[in-house]
Amino acid sequence: MQLQGVYTALITPFTNGEIDYAKLRELVELQIAGGVDGIVPVGTTGESPTLTFNEHQKLIDEVIKTTDKRCTIIAGTGANSTAEAIELTKYAKAAGADGSLQVTPYYNKPTQEGLYRHFSTIADASGIPIVLYNVPGRSGVPIAVDTVARLSKNENIVAIKEAAGSAERVSQILDVCDITVVSGDDALTLPMMSVGAKGVISVASNIIPAEMKAMVDAFAAGNTQKALELHLKYYCFFRDEFIETNPLPIKTAMAMAGIINEEFRLPLCEISDGSRAKLAASLKRCGII
């Protein structure tokens, strides 16, 4: 599996406290119509910590069934328990996923050796392409560059999603190994691609899939001016989609655009009135609503 382009970190729609599978299928079709290269269900943006194990599995099934091989599926199957991550990842493989996104184990804060063993064990046991997910702001611990280099020697570990807020990390990683790097931050997509990243696992593409695809493809094709114009047009949204904890702003934005119900599961809840006003202003400024 070769990652390149735009992969949408798909939100999970709820209605009256339950996953709205009919709406989920609509969202998948919206992504397909927007031309994205892939979909990443049940990641952080999909509110995976609030889903039951059975919901997690069913959501993966529904996304794979709906896409019907029209784009790549990288299922979010990470956990802070190695055994649980293996079980979910094996399930995703059997269901037909093309790959797995493995977040850094959260809360228990493993050492770098622990991270190496965690990811290696999952990769060896599951037999599916693994995308590492470095997001220390949420997990509490980074995947050190040296650890990435060690892990890159495993043939099943094919890429890393970089969401540590540093474009320099891309250079640091590519200086020591040849693993594929993708941005985990919409606002850093172009800076990261300028030093070797191959695309983005995007939050913004939930609502502007075609525009994100156009920006990434333009840069990849050497049309940096067009890519920059799109980046600048949507930058205020890239900024404000993280005005509060993800995925609160993106789901709020999608509700403002009439795409989904504005519904979360506790402990996630509605954004503040001040954040709502700023987000609405950004959406209007860049023409989303």
The pLDDT assigned to 1 comes to 83
Question: Residues 161, 198, 213, 278: which is the catalytic one?
Answer: 161
pLDDT in tens, 119-177: 999 999 999 999 999 999 999 999 999 999 999 999 999 999 999 999 999 999 999 99
Rounded-to-10 torsion of CA 58, 63, 67, 71: -130
Distance CA 40, CA 75 (A): 5
Distance CA 210, CA 31 (A): 8
Distance CA 35, CA 209 (A): 7
- The residue whose two tokens read 């995947």 is 143
Distance CA 25, CA 186 (A): 24
Residue 263 lies in a domain: no
Cβ neighbours of residue 20 closer than 8 Å, sequence gap 6 or more: 13, 14, 260, 261
* Burial of 40: CB neighbours in 10 Å, binned 0-12, 13-18, 19+: buried
pLDDT in tens, 206-237: 999 999 999 999 999 999 999 999 999 999 99
22 near 57, Cβ under 8 Å? no
Residue 207 lies in a domain: yes
Distance CA 183, CA 201 (A): 6
Q: What is the pTM of this model?
A: 0.97
Residue 261 lies in a domain: no
Domain that holds residue 103: 5-223
27 near 11, Cβ under 8 Å? yes
Distance CA 73, CA 35 (A): 14
136 near 162, Cβ under 8 Å? no
Sign of the CA dihedral with 254 first, then 2, 85, and 166 last? negative
43 near 52, Cβ under 8 Å? no
Tokens describing residue 136: 């220390």
Residue 273 lies in a domain: no
Tell me, yes or no, if 161 is annotated catalytic.
yes
Residue 158 lies in a domain: yes
Residue 217 lies in a domain: yes
CATH of the domain at 57: 3.20.20.70
4 near 39, Cβ under 8 Å? no
Q: Which of 66, 58, 69 is nearest to 98 (CA)?
A: 69
Question: Residues 7, 91, 133, 234: which is the catalytic one?
Answer: 133
Residue 254 lies in a domain: no
Residue 285 lies in a domain: no
Structural domains counted in the chain: 1
pLDDT in tens, 74-128: 999 999 999 999 999 999 999 999 999 999 999 999 999 999 999 999 999 999 9
